[in-house]
Amino acid sequence: MLRSNRVRLTLGPFWSAILILLAVSLPAQDKIVWSDQEKPIVEQLHGLRKLDDAVRARTTKDLALQIRQLPAVPNKLQLAGALASLSTEGDFGRDTLQEVTTTLATALREQPPAGKPGEPDQLYVELASLVRYEHMQAASDNPQFAEAMTQLETADAARQKADFTLADLQGKSWHLRDLQGKVVLVNFWATWCPPCRKEMPDLQALYDKYKDQGLVVLAISDEMAAKVVPFIAEKKIGYPVLLDPGRKVTELFQVEGIPKSFVYDRDGKMVAQSIDMRTRGQFQGMLAQAGLK
């Protein structure tokens, strides 16, 4: 299990490149050679998570513009994808995210990856996700972009029909479809995931605020109880934490990266989802779509 901004649960060439960019150890033959123009960008990308949000927002926007000005070489596409993957980890402003989206769309237009029939390259899925879930503006006449949009629509339709029964840390069983009449936020997370840990206090605050109005938070981890129980106790998390060690529910929801959250309204309709870590304000916006304000 690996992470860029979202913790990726599968690994392909694009995500291998991101791991290299983020200085994760891989065999020498897999490593990218960066040009002198690219090296400062790589260094800034590597340090983005160390910045406070205001500085990170400005730096992210600057990086988007710097990458866009690079020559059309393969590394440009990898850098644009890495920045896009990092830029949804919280709320750094819609203008910033639009610049990032435009840079990714530009790099894809300049050097479209090959892809396979019916399997769009992950970078097109990244772009489609920005358009569908973050409501960014981007267009592409490459068939892979249309395939990626269709792939997301199909996944969402499956998630709408998804149902599960899992036990929490106290042994109580939770059945998703039995919770109609409640607003349900399903959150996939792990103890080892930094952005998952970062968003947990905001989830707890919103749970405390809305639980008497019918909010149920179901936080699902695929780890073992021996790992999760002491972590939850230390963090003083009060909302239900469910265990999915066989990853059946994780796979049912087609979760490829964490953290990821889904919100269902009182009629059981999925009305909002995240593609990454959310801030309290972003979670609040998701809950508002289910009628909690």
- Residue 30: what pLDDT? 57
DSSP string, the chain: -EESSSEESS--HHHHHHHHHTT----GGGPPPPPTTTHHHHHHHHTGGGS-HHHHHHHHHHHHHHHHTS-S-HHHHHHHHHHHHHHTSS---HHHHHHHHHHHHHHHHHS----BTTB--HHHHHHHHHHHHS-------SHHHHHHHHHHHHHHHHHHH---EEEBTTS-EEEGGGGBTBEEEEEE--TT-HHHHHHHHHHHHHHHHHGGGTEEEEEEE-S-HHHHHHHHHHHT--S-EEE-TT-HHHHHTT--EESEEEEE-TTS-EEEE-SS---HHHHHHHHHTTT--
Class of domain 165-288: alpha beta
What are the domain boundaries of the chain?
2-157, 165-288
pTM for this structure? 0.86
- Residue 62: what pLDDT? 98
Each residue's pLDDT tens digit in the chain (293 positions)? 233 334 444 333 344 445 445 443 344 445 778 999 999 999 999 999 999 999 999 999 999 999 999 999 889 999 999 999 999 999 999 999 999 999 999 999 999 998 787 789 999 999 999 999 999 999 999 999 999 999 999 999 999 999 999 999 999 999 999 999 999 999 999 999 999 999 999 999 999 999 999 999 999 999 999 999 999 999 999 999 999 989 999 999 999 889 999 999 999 999 999 999 999 999 999 999 999 98
